[in-house]
Structure 1
Amino acid sequence: MAIVGVLGIGMIKIYQFSHTQAPNSQMPIAKIQSQKNQVRSVAALGRVEPQGEVITIGGSVGERIDKLLVQEGQQVKVGDVLAYLDSYQEQLAAKNAAATQLQEARNRMKAESMFGKAQIAEAESRIGQIKTPQMSEIVAQKATIEGIEVDLQAKQKDLERFTYLHNQGAISQQSLDDKVLEVRTKQNELNNAKATLAKLEQGRSTDLLNAQTQVRSAQASLQLAESKVQVESANSNLKLAIARLERTIIRTPQSGQILKIFAHSGEAISDQGILQIGNTKQMYVVAEVYETDVSRVKVGQTAVISSNALPKDIIGVVEQIGLKIGKKDVLNTDPAAKIDARVVEVKIRLTDSQLVAGLTNLEVNVLIKP
């Protein structure tokens, strides 16, 4: 009986021990699974910044701001004028003077061109005046010569006939001499007519040559006058003046919000520049992921952004993973944190930019989920 009692008590203890240890045996498995899930996520510190980062807009160090046209928090568009430098008025006057000189040069060019073209037209009209009338005179003179030649031929035939009759004794010497005189007179008339024709042709040739020379001279004078009017030089001076003027006008290179102003009207530009601008309509978080964890970060992963300064967590999406390893920029307040840790910057696009639009450079906690 005693032995049976002892065995019964032993079985009861074994039963109780097995049932009390079973739930505890499951706890390490759950903890291991939770630890595995946590290991698969990547935690990092990060900073908030606008899309395209914060841009510092500056100018020549030491030059003063004549007029600042914007204020902090103002939204601006690409090409908007932000400020005028102190040298703006001087460069504006130089640009206006260059524009006036260019206009004067163009006016002179126009006047010289009109005058030169008028001279060319006059010289060309002389050629027309020479060609038609003088050619008519030459044609008429040639017709006169032809008529004289016909008369001369007729008189020469009469002379031959009278010579034959004189030899036959049919006419007197006086009659023959009269015919000889007529032939000589007509021959002289023909010679004079030919001389006149030659003179007309020579005169026409000389007049044409002179008129053509006048045309070429007028054309050369026009080219010389146009070359002396330095339109291209004046145009180059205007372009240079415009370029110098533009250097005194500070324009925004991108649309965004004025985040910080370093130099106001009347102040000199320092090494900090004039102001900072950023596109706060779309905010990003730059997470500094340890180099040992970056292999587990992929583009498209979801990230949870948290901070005591935020009313709630913000969701983001990994958009870009840096290609360079560097030192941390965001320092943890924990004195035990590694300040010389090597990290890779991961850019996360936020789905709700409004919560952090006015919190550029805010330090946040980042948890990138697998």
Structure 2
Amino acid sequence: MQTQKPLIDTPEVPKPPAPKRQPLRQTAVWLVGIPLTLLALGGAIGIRQFLQPAPAPAVRPQVPAAPKAVTSLGRLEPEGEVIALSAPTFLEGARVAQVRVEEGQQVRRGQVVAVLDRRARLAAALAQTSRQVEVAQARLAQVQAGAKAGDLGAQRSAIARLAAELRIAQRELQRFEALHDTGAISASQLDDKRLVVETLNGQLQQARSALVAIAEVRPTDLRTAAAEIAAARAVEARARAELDTAYVRALQDGRILKIRTRPGEMVSGEPIAEMGRTERMEAVAEVYEDDLSRLRVGQKASVRSLNGAFSGRLQGTVYRIVPLIGKKDVLDTDPAADVDARVAEVRIRLDAADSRRVADLTNLKVEVAIDG
């Protein structure tokens, strides 16, 4: 059977050429190559960064922290501490007879603060010993002067009388010897005259020796008299020292802070008065032992009152760190505070102007801040 042709001839339109397709294998290779290239590039960059030294981190300048101040409780005291003026105790006891100062009065070193009632008795004893010294001195002068002129004259007269009697006796003896030779007298009568001459001769020699002894000043007598004077002066010095115990004197220049024993009261363990150099005040800080390594002489410090006894702060300088650890004397009002803490005293000399501000505030409780 034959196929019929259409009546009208339609021109054939040429079909577009089909797109040329890449082979599948080449496409896959191209797709896999991209990640490998990227991976190789990244590894090269990483190796390069690994081999290069890492940049040093930026260092920020550190500002040193301000040292922290050492704070502690303390008290105000006069320079050299408070001095207690006491009298010695005696077995017989003693009372205060006079108090010659008032509280707040300025006194000088050696000034009498109080007088005890044993002063009168000790003053009489001193006067007696002084008279004994005078007696010993007079005795020495007597020895140095030798015998009195009257004694010397009397002794010379006795010598002259004995010499005259001896001459008479010697003449009589000569006559009796002549009579004995003629047989007019016996031998016994002649012996009696010889005995008289010998006796008078002995008395004359004794009288002459006595005159020499009276007129002589012996060194031993001088030494004895000088020793008596020295002994009397020693007794006098002891009596004067005992009399000085009847007076209570100020040991230094300062101010009387408190009178604790009044006239008529017995001398006991209580001081008679307390004094201090309030013209130069200082603060005594009780610093904990673990803070002592941060302190040194010359550091600045400030002091403030915990109860408003004075306004503002006092300025001063550390001048002594007492090398003794002990318990606290100034207790904190905090009930949880450690009362058995170990502390050392640090003394701070206040500036002159601030010292005058607190001259009347001895033993005031304060807080001290020492620059660290």
TM-score (norm 1): 0.62
Aligned length: 254
Deviation of 1:84 after TM superposition, in Å, equals 1.1
Deviation of 1:50 after TM superposition, in Å, equals 0.8
Distance across 2 between alignment mates of 1:219 and 1:328: 79
Q: Deviations over 1:146-170 (max 9, x none)?
A: xxxxxxxxxxxxxxxxxxxxxxxxx
Distance across 1 between alignment mates of 2:304 and 2:63: 25
Selected match of 2:104 from 73, 90, 114: 73
Distance across 1 between alignment mates of 2:335 and 2:67: 24
Q: Which residue of 2 aligns with 1:361?
A: 363
Deviation of 1:339 after TM superposition, in Å, equals 1.2
Deviation of 1:353 after TM superposition, in Å, equals 1.2
Q: Are the counterparts in 2 of residues 319 and 348 from structure 1 also a CA contact under 8 Å? A: yes
Q: Which residue of 1 aligns with 2:118?
A: 87
Deviation of 1:115 after TM superposition, in Å, equals 2.6
Deviation of 1:118 after TM superposition, in Å, equals 7.7
Structure 1 counterpart of 2:337, one-letter code: A
Verify: 1:46 aligned to 2:74, yes or no: yes
Q: Deviations over 1:179-237 (max 9, x none)?
A: xxxxxxxxxxxxxxxxxxxxxxxxxxxxxxx9899667744557437625721221111
Q: Deviations over 1:213-263 (max 9, x none)?
A: 966774455743762572122111111110111111111111111111111
Selected match of 2:296 from 291, 294, 298: 298
Q: Are the counterparts in 1 of residues 67 and 371 from structure 2 also a CA contact under 8 Å? A: no
Q: Which residue of 2 aligns with 1:37?
A: 66
Distance across 2 between alignment mates of 1:219 and 1:213: 10
* Higher radius of gyration, 1 or 2: 2
Q: Higher relative contact order by CA 8 Å / sep ≥ 6: 1 or 2?
A: 1
Distance across 2 between alignment mates of 1:38 and 1:337: 25
Q: Which residue of 2 aligns with 1:255?
A: 253
Q: 1:224 to 1:346 in 2, by over 3 A?
A: same
Q: Which sits farther off after the overlay, 223-232 or 245-254?
A: 223-232
Q: Are the counterparts in 2 of residues 263 and 274 from structure 1 also a CA contact under 8 Å? A: yes
Q: 1:364 to 1:109 in 2, by over 3 A?
A: same
Q: Are the counterparts in 2 of residues 75 and 256 from structure 1 also a CA contact under 8 Å? A: yes
Verify: 1:227 aligned to 2:263, yes or no: no
TM-score (norm 2): 0.62
Distance across 2 between alignment mates of 1:116 and 1:80: 50
Q: Are the counterparts in 2 of residues 74 and 258 from structure 1 also a CA contact under 8 Å? A: yes
Structure 1 alignment gaps of length 5 or more: 1-28, 123-209
Q: Deviations over 1:67-106 (max 9, x none)?
A: 1111111111111111111100110111111112211221
Q: Deviations over 1:302-330 (max 9, x none)?
A: 00000121122110100001111111110
* SS, match of residue 343 in structure 2: strand
Q: 1:211 to 1:341 in 2, by over 3 A?
A: same
Distance across 2 between alignment mates of 1:296 and 1:118: 89
Distance across 2 between alignment mates of 1:33 and 1:364: 33
Distance across 2 between alignment mates of 1:363 and 1:33: 37
Q: Are the counterparts in 1 of residues 146 and 217 from structure 2 also a CA contact under 8 Å? A: no
Distance across 1 between alignment mates of 2:105 and 2:283: 22
* SS, match of residue 51 in structure 1: strand
Q: 1:244 to 1:369 in 2, by over 3 A?
A: same
Q: Are the counterparts in 1 of residues 301 and 318 from structure 2 also a CA contact under 8 Å? A: yes
Q: Are the counterparts in 1 of residues 325 and 342 from structure 2 also a CA contact under 8 Å? A: yes
Q: 1:38 to 1:99 in 2, by over 3 A?
A: same
Q: 1:104 to 1:213 in 2, by over 3 A?
A: closer
Alignment of 1:1-370 (within 5 A): 36-37=65-66, 39=68, 41-61=69-89, 62-116=93-147, 218-219=215-216, 221=218, 223-224=220-221, 227=224, 230-307=228-305, 308-351=308-351, 352-370=354-372
* SS, match of residue 95 in structure 1: helix
Structure 2 alignment gaps of length 5 or more: 1-59, 154-206
Structure 2 counterpart of 1:241, one-letter code: A
Distance across 2 between alignment mates of 1:335 and 1:219: 92
Deviation of 1:358 after TM superposition, in Å, equals 1.0
Q: Are the counterparts in 2 of residues 116 and 221 from structure 1 also a CA contact under 8 Å? A: no
Distance across 1 between alignment mates of 2:332 and 2:63: 29
Q: Are the counterparts in 2 of residues 113 and 226 from structure 1 also a CA contact under 8 Å? A: no
Q: Are the counterparts in 1 of residues 133 and 232 from structure 2 also a CA contact under 8 Å? A: yes
Distance across 1 between alignment mates of 2:267 and 2:142: 48
